[in-house]
Amino acid sequence: DYIRKKCIEQGIIPPNRISKIDWRTLDISPPDKIQEMVEIAKSRNGFCLSKRYFGVHVKLHWKCGKCDYDWWATPNNIKNWHWCKICGIQKMIKNRKK
């Protein structure tokens, strides 16, 4: 519980089975990685709310600047152009009406 609480305070959702994780194997990267995530979010009119980066498979906290929706997603998903699902649904509905 302590590790999960501390991770969430830092804006990180750890995998479900914390006791099964060897924390030494996590890719704890320098601050430029979290800055890269901030820049990607900014380029999509949004925000990366997480303060630390632990690798491409550990979820970070994101927020859309258009609709204020917030969610958790891995850096891999965000880098592969998965962004706000609310705006995505609205765009799909708008395109269907055309």
Q: How many CA atoms lie within 13 A of 38 on its CB side?
A: 11
At 21, the amino acid letter reads I
CB contact at 8 A, 14 and 3: yes
Domain ranges across the chain: 2-97
pLDDT in tens, the chain (98 residues): 666 777 777 777 776 665 555 555 555 556 788 999 999 999 999 999 998 888 888 899 999 999 999 999 999 999 998 899 999 999 999 898 87
SS3 75: helix
Q: Residue 69: name the closest of 51, 55, 88 by CA.
A: 88
Q: How far apart are CA 98 and CA 75, in angstroms?
A: 33
pLDDT number for residue 5:
74
Global pTM reads 0.69
